């Protein structure tokens, strides 16, 4: 009667003699650290853990690979930064765990908000004038920017522009 072999036995037999190159090992380690960093960041952003716990978990996860883990934290943070939303949690993570001075990023975020506020007022006034010319006026007339395709396009384009600046600002810390 034939021998019944487990899946593990079959896999072990087929992979016998296969080894990973140093480059493959480093890539595997980089991906593992990136996953850990993103997981910790996500827990903080979701309010599951506080900043003190972030620091403890980051220190533990990066032990022995501080440089590689710092890089993973920076790269992982890039996906969370976005103009027009609350970025304070991500900026705190970058400051406290990666040792990054976030003042330049904060300036970019403030500049975005200032520009949006100014353009929003300008666009609302333009829409109000257009409505007025159509005979629609009064103190209760409030232009709906969310329904204005010109405003939406402007917002999306400007947000992309500022997001690029934020990511470029973070990129400098990856080479340093």
93 neighbors 57 (Cβ within 8 angstroms): no
Tens of pLDDT along the chain (176 residues) come to 456 667 777 777 777 777 778 888 888 888 998 999 999 999 999 999 999 999 999 889 888 888 888 999 999 999 899 999 999 999 999 999 889 999 999 999 999 999 999 999 999 999 999 999 999 998 888 999 999 999 999 999 999 999 999 999 888 888 65
Q: What per-residue confidence (pLDDT) applies to 2?
A: 52
Which of 105, 25, 27, 41 lies closest to 73, judged by CA? 41
* Domain edges within the chain: 20-175
- Nearest-angstrom CA–CA distance, 158 and 114: 12
What is the per-residue pLDDT for 125? 93
What pLDDT sits at residue 26? 86
Of 84, 77, 92, 75, which Cα lies nearest the Cα of 108?
Answer: 84
Please tell me the predicted confidence (pLDDT) of residue 175.
66
What is the structure's pLDDT at 1? 46
Q: Is the pTM of this model over 0.85?
A: no
């Amino acid at each position: 009667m034939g021998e019944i072999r487990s899946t593990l036995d079959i896999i072990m037999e087929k992979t016998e003699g296969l080894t990973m190159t140093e480059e493959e090992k480093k890539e595997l380690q980089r991906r593992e650290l990136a996953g850990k960093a993103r997981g910790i960041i996500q827990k903080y952003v979701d309010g599951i853990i506080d900043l003190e716990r972030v620091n403890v978990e980051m220190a533990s996860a990066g032990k022995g690979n501080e440089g590689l883990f710092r890089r993973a934290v920076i790269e992982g943070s890039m996906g969370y930064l976005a103009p027009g939303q609350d970025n304070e949690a991500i900026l705190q993570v970058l400051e406290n765990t990666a040792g990054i001075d976030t003042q330049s990023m904060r300036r970019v975020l403030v500049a975005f908000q200032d520009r949006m506020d100014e353009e929003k007022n300008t666009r609302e006034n333009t829409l109000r004038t257009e409505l007025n010319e159509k005979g629609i006026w009064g103190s209760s007339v409030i232009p709906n920017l969310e329904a204005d395709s010109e405003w939406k396009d402007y917002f999306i384009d400007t947000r992309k522009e500022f997001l690029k600046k934020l990511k470029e600002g973070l990129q400098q810390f990856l080479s340093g």
